Structure 1
Amino acid sequence: MATTVGRVALRRPCMGGRARWRFIATSPAAELSPAELTEMRNDLFNKEKSRQLSLTPRTEKIEVKHVGKTDPGTVFVMNKNISTPYSCAMHLSEWYCKKSILALVDGQPWDMYKPLTKSCEIKFLTFKDPDPREVNKAYWRSCAMMMGCVLERAFKDDYVVSLVRVPDVPVIAGAFCYDVALDKRLDEWMPTKENLRSFTKDAHTLIYRDLPFETLEVDAKVALEIFQHNKYKVDFIEEKASQNPERIVKLHRIGDFIDVSEGPLIPRTSVCFQYEVSAVHNLPRSQPSLVRRFQGLSLPIHLRAQFTIWDKLLERSRKMVTEDEITQTESTAPTQ
């Protein structure tokens, strides 16, 4: 027997030949509807972004020196805390704007839309570089964040969806992942191919919208306020804040979806080309709520694959990525 919840068709076993459905109110702990949570989070994000911009009332200039293979030594005079690596790329050529996925700012990986804070040296990274590891990692993180956006909204207001974490999965593991705790009423839900196609369709809508990945570094207090209704994110924020004395946490936003991510991430959703939510696995129970591992596969527009190769990669991506495999792939990844 099947029913549709939000836009996702759910299947549950029938009891005594009849399907019995009992719809109860959303958990009181959630307090706000998903739409209200989205509005609240964006209000707080925008407020903090405006506050940070107001800290530099006058424009201060910085010098940014390009150290890439082409056009080396070019110096840009940019605006501190306003100009971004993408702003610099615009001064070079359209090629840099289209092909650059990340920047190295004084040797540190940097989001293309993250403001520059001081005079520095800059280099742009692409998928075709001899060592694309940082770009690949950013792409995998970004694809996982997009999947989180899709999953948080797929069930609309009917069920509670709590995003848990993005496992740090190397590209060679074969799939990017997002761990999600769904409403307890969905513990018996078995995702169908139709469900996965629905998730995939929503992801392609994000790609089509060509949304930028915004980044904002905030005090942990701000991040905790934004994610006060998600206990998993609260724990993650506390963990990340404890790792630096300033207790700074990095947030990213696409459209009106906000998540906690160390980054860096790709510049825009349209960097993705082939994208599919391929599998859902139940994780071993280590806490009261059942946590599902959603997995997906994607290739960027710069590296699109033929259908036969894509199908083979897709089949591999359906195999559950386990914690042991994550540890193993990290330890055996090339370091050259």
Structure 2
Amino acid sequence: MLVSLLWKLHSASRRRAFSSLPFARIAMATPGGHPKDEMYLGAVIPKRIQLFQAIQSQQKSHLDSLPHDSIRVTLPDGTVKEGKRWSSSPLDIAKEISKSLASNALISQVNGVLWDMKRPLEADCELKLFTFDSDEGRDTFWHSSAHILGESLEQTYGCKLCIGPCTTRGEGFYYDAFYGELGLNDEHFKQIEAAASKAVKEGQDFERIEVTRDEALEIFSDNNFKVEIINDLPSDKTITVYRCGPLVDLCRGPHIPNTSFVKAFACLKASSAYWRGNKDRESLQRVYGISYPDQKRLKEYLKNLEEAKKYDHRLLGTKQELFFCHPLSPGSWFFLPHGTRIYNKLMGFIKSQYIQRGYEEVKTPNMYNMKLWETSGHAANYRDNMFLLNIEKQEFGLKPMNCPGHCLMFQYRVRSYRELPIRMADFGALHRNEASGALTGLTRVRRFQQDDAHIFCREDQIKDEVRGVLDFIDYAYKIFGFTYELKLSTRPEQYLGEVETWDKAEAALTEALNEFGKAWQINEGDGAFYGPKIDISVSDALNRKFQCATLQLDFQLPDRFKLEFSAEDETKLERPVMIHRAILGSVERMFAILLEHYKGKWPFWLSPRQAIVCPVSAKSVDYAKQVRDRIHQAGYYADADITDRKIQKKVREAQIAQYNYILVVGEEEANTGQVSVRVRDIADHSVMSIESLLQHFADETAAFH
């Protein structure tokens, strides 16, 4: 192999050449006293660079030998630019458009495929350019920042890098690595950030090569984690390797042009992780980071992060006595009476809409024989995330999702085209065997419920059903005070079914989105393997993004379960399309998001503490109890503080407990049948009759429904 030959030929000289480079200088120990792996830094990294450069040189010579004939590059506005095949890059085209664009464009899209700005164009194409203000730009920026973090970690601690993506929540990035006995903490961050700052100042280019499997295995032969990834890649997968400065990393890319774009960089936290999420595998350290193109945005982010810490749902949930978790059932939360009030309100809100929107609520078993999961495909692809049981020498699994059970319900008798669409809704408890290190409050749990529903419809009904789900999402999220973004995720590289079916489904989703009338983006190639989907990300009051709602088309489960309905021509049977749909998503996760979104100040309709009656003295205690009971009878949550404390203290504690209304009653109110009403966080008060107060409560509740 070429790279092996070059490695042997230059073996004697490479140590001398690389020992003089800045990244090869090795300290004996880190400030924490942890010795670096000198062999790893002094030999492995130079070896990788040597191999990278050899392959890069060979590929460049090949490209230079190809004919550089003219190509047409079409921009989104229809403008056509001229370029040279195998020579012109998206960056060259950006420079022709404007200096500003060339300075700010982070990534491009060539015929729907994300493309490095400096990677040569190969043929006539449609070209889009993205800055940090786009999702594509931000994701690429943060993924590239993960490489800067990886470089810093590898250079500082001589660790073995594992994976380094941008986070799924779309804010920042992390890198997992194996450090042996070293445990990272906040005290290590200054050194990591200093090494990252050095990489940024050097303006290291992100360089790309394509390699064979054998070449990849040779480059990363000293890292068993990368070797495992390479061996698991499909045989027809193009393997790419990127370099920035001393870091050579296995990565599909793409990346920003160079490290100098990352003007602001910070480490956020360190935590433990398991290789591939498996508790039986190697224990890793995960470092989270955030970066921006300028310091101002980083400062704003860190300020918002500190603000968000004050409203962490776990902290607020404890203060308000809403829920708790016990070590005897990790990942499964106990909802206390006040927390259960909110939980039930959320489910009741969705159920009230089911009546209006044509959903039928069903209940399905929690446990199924594994034969069901073999039919659905989950036994092969999801088994490790399931809780399994052996009953009478047969294997069963607790359900991690409702869809296979709903397929059985559709299947239990002959269906007619007249019945479709059938909209099945299910709040059944779900269980997923999440790794203990991944459990995070209510946002990542083992036991949860979803406002789960599956719509079985004909192909010609897809558009109307999708439009109906979008209307439902819009209605609910407006009530919660969320803004949201929509993306259409289309057919991925690996997919099941016929292209014609996918094209029809994508066209129906496109038409539904256009009729819906809100801005949306296309997310090429990011659909599920079983069908296209619409991704909905919400933004809360702290401007954080979350994925809650789900809208996915599925052609595969109906096929796996052989679902059929009699067509209008009763001699013919047709297969339905299945739409997976959730509005809240996990009720637990939505509970956590709303608690932080409202900063613990629940709106009246959702509040577990809607009113408290505070008597001024013992003389008005009986009247306070009467008022409380009247409010209860009207269907609202009310308490009475009948302690002998001063009224000022009662009011103050009621405000801290986040009661929406504080009702003060004394002898005068008792004699007139009125209450003195204080609204949470407002100093002023007014006097109202009980009837007027209850009408006000009814009006405020109705405003949210």
Q: Deviations over 1:25-77 (max 9, x none)?
A: 96xxx9x43222121111111111122223342432241313134xx423222
What is the aligned counterpart of 2:250 among 254, 257, 260?
260
User: What is the alpha-carbon distance in structure 2 between the residues aligned to residue 169 and residue 314 of structure 1?
Assistant: 19
Aligned partners of 2:108 and 2:114 also within 8 Å = yes
What is the aligned counterpart of 2:128 among 115, 123, 147?
123
Q: Deviations over 1:311-331 (max 9, x none)?
A: 3337869x9x94776999885
Unaligned runs of 5+ in 2: 1-26, 313-436, 446-536, 538-544, 552-705
Matched, 1:60 2:75: no
User: What is the alpha-carbon distance in structure 2 between the residues aligned to residue 259 and residue 323 of structure 1?
Assistant: 29
Q: Number of residue pairs matched?
A: 296
Aligned partners of 2:45 and 2:247 also within 8 Å = yes
Which amino acid counterpart does residue 267 of structure 2 have in structure 1? Answer: V
Q: How does 1:1-336 map to 2 (within 5 A)?
A: 8-10=30-32, 32-56=39-63, 57-69=65-77, 72-80=78-86, 82-128=87-133, 132-155=134-157, 160-167=158-165, 169-172=167-170, 174-184=171-181, 186=182, 189-193=183-187, 195-240=188-233, 242=234, 245=236, 247-283=237-273, 286-287=279-280, 289-301=282-294, 304-305=296-297, 307=299, 309-313=301-305, 322=438, 332=548
RMSD across aligned positions (CA): 3.3
What is the match of residue 602 of structure 2?
Answer: none
Q: 1:323 to 1:147 in 2, by over 3 A?
A: farther
Which amino acid counterpart does residue 213 of structure 2 have in structure 1? Answer: A
* Matched residue SS, 2:191: helix
User: What is the alpha-carbon distance in structure 1 between the residues aligned to residue 219 and residue 263 of structure 2?
Assistant: 31
Shift of 1:190: 4.9
Aligned partners of 2:169 and 2:547 also within 8 Å = no
Moved more, 305-314 or 82-91: 305-314
Aligned partners of 1:103 and 1:111 also within 8 Å = yes
Shift of 1:202: 1.1
Which amino acid counterpart does residue 61 of structure 1 have in structure 2? Answer: D
Which structure has the larger Rg over C-alpha atoms?
2
Q: 1:49 to 1:316 in 2, by over 3 A?
A: farther
Q: Deviations over 1:260-313 (max 9, x none)?
A: 112221122121122112221122573464311111111223x84273543333
Q: 1:334 to 1:236 in 2, by over 3 A?
A: same
Which amino acid counterpart does residue 262 of structure 1 have in structure 2? Answer: R
Aligned partners of 2:69 and 2:85 also within 8 Å = yes
Aligned partners of 1:11 and 1:190 also within 8 Å = no
* Matched residue SS, 1:118: coil
Which amino acid counterpart does residue 92 of structure 1 have in structure 2? Answer: I
Unaligned runs of 5+ in 1: 13-22
Aligned partners of 2:132 and 2:141 also within 8 Å = no
Aligned partners of 2:85 and 2:123 also within 8 Å = no
User: What is the alpha-carbon distance in structure 1 between the residues aligned to residue 54 and residue 246 of structure 2?
Assistant: 14
Identity score, percent = 22
Aligned partners of 1:6 and 1:154 also within 8 Å = no
Q: Deviations over 1:200-219 (max 9, x none)?
A: 11111111112221122222
Q: Provide TM-score, normalisation by structure 2.
A: 0.38
User: What is the alpha-carbon distance in structure 2 between the residues aligned to residue 250 and residue 75 of structure 1?
Assistant: 28
User: What is the alpha-carbon distance in structure 1 between the residues aligned to residue 122 and residue 549 of structure 2?
Assistant: 32
Q: 1:161 to 1:305 in 2, by over 3 A?
A: same
Q: Provide TM-score, normalisation by structure 1.
A: 0.76
Aligned partners of 2:291 and 2:298 also within 8 Å = no
What is the match of residue 498 of structure 2?
Answer: none
Which amino acid counterpart does residue 170 of structure 1 have in structure 2? Answer: T
Larger relative contact order (CA 8 Å, sep ≥ 6)? 1
